[in-house]
Copies of this chain bind each other. A is one copy, B any other.
Amino acid sequence: MASDDAAPDPIDLTLVDVLRAMADPIRLRIVQTLAAGGPHGKCGEHWNFGVHKSTMTHHFRILREAGLTRTTVTGRTHTIELRRAELDARFPGLIDALTVADQRSSVG
């Protein structure tokens, strides 16, 4: 039961799976935040979406199983991190396009 429990190699990922994992407001925001600021904890400190705790667990699981993130367990705190390198190698420009689009949506 390590952290890479159900996390596949990004090589095996299909674009559809990645897209579907990010086709959600909360999960997209998580990915964008991760892409912008490195690893984060899972506690409600940073992620204030107004949803239940278990809902966040659900979303984190989707992201991890889609191969987008990697979770590191340290004591009772979990640290989530974007697999940026693997993702960039598998889907060049995707994460970057998502981040750029985020900046634009903050403006408009």
Contact = CB atoms under 8 A, between A and B. Distances in A.
Interface of A: 11, 14-16, 19-20, 22-25, 28, 90-94, 96-98, 100-102, 104-105, 108
Lowest 9 CB-CB distances: which A-B pairs, in order? A93-B97, A20-B23, A23-B23, A19-B23, A94-B97, A91-B101, A15-B101, A97-B97, A93-B93
B23 A16 contact: yes
Nearest to A29: B16
Contacts of A16: 23-25, 28
Contacts of A101: 15, 90-92, 94
A19 B28 contact: yes
Nearest to A93: B97
B11 A108 contact: yes
Nearest to A21: B23
Nearest to A104: B90
Nearest to A24: B16
Pick the most buried of A15, A104, A108: most chain B CB atoms within 10 A of its CB: A15
Contact of A15 (B11, B90, B98): B98
